[in-house]
Amino acid sequence: MPNPSGPNEAAAAGVSMAEKAIVLQGLRAQVRRLENGGKEGKGTFGLGVRDIDRTLPDGGLPLGCLHELGGTDPVHRGAAAGFAAALLAGIAACQGKSVLWIVGDRGLHAAGLAAFGLTPDRLIAARARRASDALWAMEEALRCPSLAAVAGEVEAGDLTASRRLHLAAESAGTTAILLLPGTPRRGVSAAMTRWTVTPLPSANEAGEPGIGRPRWRVELLRCRNGRSGAWVLEWRDGALALSDEAAEEGIIEQAARDRSVVRFA
Amino acid sequence: MLLDVTGCAHLFGGEEALRADLIARLRRAGFAVRAAVADTPAAAWAAARFAPRAGIVPPGGQAEALAPLPVAALRLPEETVRGLEAVGLRRIRDLAPVPRATLARRFGAELARRLDQAFGALDEPLSPRLPVPPHEERLALAEPISTPDSIALAALHLIGGLCRRLAAEHRGLRRLELTVFRTDHGPDSVPQSVAIGTGRPVRDPAALMRLLGGKLERIAPGPGLELLVLAAPLVEPLAPAQAGLTGAEEKGKDLGALLDRLANRLGEDSLLRLVPRQSWLPERSVAGVPPLDAGLGADSESAPLWPDDRPRPVRLLVPPEPIEVVAPVPDDPPKLFRWRGATHRVGKADGPERLCAEWWRHGGELRDYYRVEDMEGRRFWVFRLGLHRPEAPAGWFLHGFFA
């Protein structure tokens, strides 16, 4: 039985639920502006997955700041690279600029990345053999407003490095994605959001043999001004999509359980 | 064209062979050529132009070789030649009996000088044409300098001068080399030098100084530097700068400046745009081109990207690493593999996709590629090298990671 007192009280005070929501939204935006030192954000990029975009502040991934993206396997970086490629391609396309991707070797394979929308005209690949060079190059590149985003793979980053990257990203409105091996540290970081991507068995159509669509468990561990969450995503018809829930319920529950273990560990 | 071949002929197997080789090369390049070899430049000049069969004038044989040639072969002014012919002296041999003093008085000292040069009585030095880098600035210092600040100041001074010249010529440089000479520089020591390259023509002193500045610390001044030479061996046209109204051209420029800065620290081949290339081998199917290549935009629209129906990994392992594999059925994907100490049980698999180097490339056996997914969902690209042979264990490799 619905509780009649809530709406009635609101109506008595002359404020409907919808109006309340608007007021709350305004207050939240004000808090965000205060936290950003009075500056307006650089806009957001919607991932195209409603559940995730609703969890993120302002309905999308904030641009012009630092995001950390980890995998769970330090040697198999495929899943994180695929998710990052999808994000970078989206950011590059909505700004009409290129992205720079800095790695330690010559391992980026353009033929595979192009399948995630990161085509050669959008991607400049850079190789930095030393971690110090990679961080330096990221910071330099982030200050260049002609780039949409800069992704960099480093073995480890500390608070100072993340702060410097975040400031550089803010100064030119370029988005930084720091790719870390393994789960991101529990330690402090200046990153706006922190994600992990874990590969999951691929999604096959019923009865289809072999390997199907790439599927990952994407977890938002931390998000400034937003909530955290975990989703099962797949790469379907050239876009990120939530995996069909009916089939994946088990996995989502599993993901939630894993997460709670992580939180209280 | 005059060449001083003193002491060179034996390298080509004699003068005749040298001459033949030279003629053949020039003809191949599309020139009509006559060539002669002689003791003196004047004799060679004459023989090449006037001898019925130009060739080798033997050492000391120039008098004999030149005797039947017309007097014009002596490189004389037009009126002298006409004057000689008017008195019946048509050939060089006709001049021999005439006393030198008479000739000089009648036709001028020039005739005597040319005769002496032709017969080797008078030395005629050749002044060779040396390539000179046209864009070079030098700074010689009375007092040697050695502190980083003063070296930077000197470099800035040179860059300023060079950029002013480039601006006047509407050019920009693509490569800049600074060579420094120390006070203890001996004839055998190689001077130190640092160089930078840029992705597009530049003549902004501040930008160049930023690029060069990071490299100046590599210079070991020792007892001090007394001479600095700044050269731009590669220059390209660069239109005079015009301040943009909308800032649109600023955009490309600062991307270019950024890429130059990165390339100078990370290495010139470290910044690439990865574009498709026609090849079956995965490591050859991607070509790296300079990131600011102008032709790219047009290309990417007309040329197809990689085929959609052949899934490719997002990361390659360079080079592929050997793995231990359990594959009980020939030409079936492995059931289990071991890489870097970890065992992966294969849940799903696709393949094989047989890839082979193009027939015109040597070496490299064919490879059978499989996409395999382990129980946790990690997707790998593995291949077996060569055909399955029952008697020999097959070599398996891990080549990449799928998303």
Q: Is the pLDDT of residue B243 over 70?
A: no
Confidence (pLDDT) at A86: 94
> In DSSP terms, which residues pair with B173 in a beta bridge?
B202, B235
Edge-first strand listing for the sheet containing A229-236: A239-242, A229-236, A213-223, A193-203, A66-71, A175-180, A147-153, A98-103, A123-127, B271-276, B286-289
DSSP conformation letters of B297-343: HHHHHHS--S-TTS---SEEEEEEEEEEEE--STTS--SEEEETTEE
Task: Provide the CB-side half-sphere exposure for A188 (13 A, CA).
Answer: 4
CB contact under 8 A, B380 and A123: no
Confidence (pLDDT) at B11: 83
Interface test with A, best of B302, B315, B369 (most A CBs within 10 A): B315
- Contacts B248 to A, Cβ<8 Å: none
Of A82, A136, A198, the CB nearest to B403: A82
Furthest-apart CA atoms within chain B: distance in Å: 110
**pLDDT digits 0-9 by tens, A3-39:** 444 444 444 455 677 777 778 777 777 776 666 554 5
CB contact under 8 A, B315 and A81: yes
Nearest-CA distance B340 → chain A (Å): 9
Q: Residue holding tokens 């709670």? A: A260
Q: CA B67, B71, B73, B79: dihedral to nearest 10 degrees?
A: 170
**pLDDT digits 0-9 by tens, B174-189:** 889 999 888 887 777 7
- Contacts A77 to B, Cβ<8 Å: 315, 401
Interface test with B, best of A76, A129, A216 (most B CBs within 10 A): A76
CB contact under 8 A, A211 and B261: no
Confidence (pLDDT) at B274: 86
- Alpha carbon separation from B232 to B172, B226, B254, B369 (Å, rounded): 9, 20, 22, 49
Select B136-239's CATH number: 3.30.530.50, 3.30.1490.100, 3.40.605.10, 3.90.1300.10: 3.30.1490.100
> In DSSP terms, which residues pair with B384 in a beta bridge?
B368, B396
Furthest-apart CA atoms within chain A: distance in Å: 67
- Closest by alpha carbon to A175, among A204, A217, A141? A141
Q: Is beta strand A44-45 parallel, antiparallel or unpaired with respect to A61-62?
A: antiparallel
DSSP state of B384: E
The predicted complex's ipTM stands at 0.79
What is the rounded CA–CA span in Å between residue B329 and residue B308?
Answer: 29
Q: Per residue in B292-314, is it b (16+ CB within 10 Å) or e — as a string?
A: beeebeeebeeeeebeeeebbbb
Domain definitions of chain B by residue range: 9-119, 136-239, 315-401
**pLDDT digits 0-9 by tens, B179-233:** 988 888 777 778 888 888 887 888 888 888 888 888 888 888 888 888 899 988 8
Interface test with B, best of A204, A205, A211 (most B CBs within 10 A): A211
Confidence (pLDDT) at B238: 80
